[in-house]
Structure 1
Amino acid sequence: MLRLFTYGASNRLSKTALALIFCTSAVAAEPVEVVALGDSLTAGYGLPQGQGLVPKLQAWLDEQGVDAKVVNAGVSGDTTRGGLSRVEWSLSDQSDAMIVALGGNDLLRGIDPTSSRDNLAAILDIAAARDLPVLLVGLEAPSNYGAGFKEAFDSMYADLSQEYDTLFLPDFFEGLRVKGGTNLQDVREFMQPDGIHPNAEGVERIVSVLGPRVEELVERTQ
């Protein structure tokens, strides 16, 4: 009887151990969730389903064998203030990292860069409170806003990245400039007719530069 009891107990323990191992493996197998907080550039404005930034970035990560899931939290027309107002509910308990790509609509509306900077800082404060690594994606202001505006706008991204120790991509459109250092005026073939949003080929080029930075972001979660 003792041997039977021991065997039964041992058998139950073995099953319990296997169940624990299985559950642990299942948890470990969960992909890293990266929330892409942005505006129409992130949302994929004007592009067919599957051709926007997030699905193209997801495909790039999959091809590289990066175990991550990118959540599209891009809202067309959003300013940095709009992003701040919804960042809390854009994140979930499963969120592991965040891409912050905001400021384009602030730029189009000529919003004071001081206000934009404060909003971005508040978003980064929320990420820091959740211990989420961040990739901050900047933009470059055109010169027609004036030298003072341009300097304040362009520099706020680098300053905030340094202050909050984020990963940093200085310009969302860097992928359109990498060959020959071209200006945006020279890359119309990669833009939609509005001259603001990239077309499908433009997105591919943007992802070719953004993708490796996101891979680094995923590595920061491990």
Structure 2
Amino acid sequence: MSGRAEAREVRILALGDSLTAGYGLARSEGFVAQLEAALRAKGIPARVLDGGVSGDTSAGGRARLDWALADRPDVAIVALGGNDGLRAIPPEATYANLDAILRRLAERNVPALLAGMLAPPNLGAEYGEAFRGAFERLAREHAVVFYPFFLDGVAAEPALNQPDGIHPNARGVAVMVERILPAVERLIEKARS
């Protein structure tokens, strides 16, 4: 490996829940492994650090952020909120937790990508709008790379999900990675500039 800055391995923290932890999948099929492989296939030396804890809410991610930062990531993907929506946690609480996470990352000079989430439709349009709006507001206020819906192209597609209809299967994760990859590349560029 040359000494050039471009060749240095970029360390990416994937701070999330079961969607980043690869619930129900072999390690090689999960988001962390597939994202790392996709970046390497594009010639980007990357190591994706698994900061996913199944069942975690934005509050849980906030509580363990300093522990995750001990791995000294160069950048972070913040993919929390799915469990907040499933538990109908008030969007203001989700906003406050994610705001604290993004502030802490900024203090540590760790550029972030915020992966948005949508609330389950059974919670009603008003809750859904407020929930989605929390992510949009955070993206504006923190000027982070924003990917509006982490499960874009996968949610509600039976062929891309495990039998529970919530967690993506290996093919679903491949779709997630393919769709989020340009945003991750922008995040890496941000860290290198």
Flag whether TM exceeds 0.5 (same fold).
yes
Sequence identity, in percent?
A: 47
Which residue of 1 is the match for residue 167 of structure 2?
A: 197
In 2: Cα distance, 1:147 partner to 1:27 partner: 47
Corresponding residue to 1:214 among 157, 160, 184:
184
In 2: Cα distance, 1:92 partner to 1:216 partner: 24
In 2: Cα distance, 1:33 partner to 1:114 partner: 31
In 2: Cα distance, 1:29 partner to 1:201 partner: 30
Corresponding residue to 1:151 among 122, 129, 143:
129
Q: Note the 1:1-222 alignment, pairs <5 A.
A: 25=3, 29-92=7-70, 94-176=72-154, 184-185=155-156, 187-222=157-192
CA RMSD of aligned residues (A): 1.8
SS at match of 2:177: helix
SS at match of 1:174: coil
Which residue of 2 is the match for residue 179 of structure 1?
A: none
Query: Gaps (5+ residues) in structure 2?
Result: none
Deviation at 1:113, TM superposition (A): 0.8
In 2: Cα distance, 1:93 partner to 1:194 partner: 32
Q: Which runs of 4+ in 1 moved over 4 A?
A: 26-29
Q: Tell me: CA distance 1:214–1:142, structure 2 relative to 1, closer, same or farther (3 Å).
A: same
In 2: Cα distance, 1:169 partner to 1:139 partner: 9
Supply the AA of the counterpart residue of 1:138.
G
Query: Gaps (5+ residues) in structure 1?
Result: 1-23, 177-183
Structure 1-normalised TM-score?
0.82
Structure 1, 141-150 or 108-117: larger mean CA deviation: 141-150
Supply the AA of the counterpart residue of 2:83.
N
Deviation at 1:80, TM superposition (A): 0.2
Deviation at 1:131, TM superposition (A): 1.4
Could you say which structure has the higher helix fraction? Answer: 1
Deviation at 1:67, TM superposition (A): 2.1
Q: Does the CA contact (< 8 Å) of 1:36 and 1:73 recur in 2? A: yes
Q: Does the CA contact (< 8 Å) of 1:33 and 1:96 recur in 2? A: yes
In 1: Cα distance, 2:87 partner to 2:60 partner: 13
Q: Does the CA contact (< 8 Å) of 1:175 and 1:207 recur in 2? A: no
Deviation at 1:28, TM superposition (A): 7.2
SS at match of 2:136: helix
| 1:160-214 deviation per Cα after TM superposition (whole angstroms, max 9, x unaligned) | 01100000110011133xxxxxxx43x1010000111000110111110111211
- Radius of gyration: which is bigger? 1
Deviation at 1:105, TM superposition (A): 0.8
Question: How many pairs are equivalent?
Answer: 192
Deviation at 1:132, TM superposition (A): 1.2
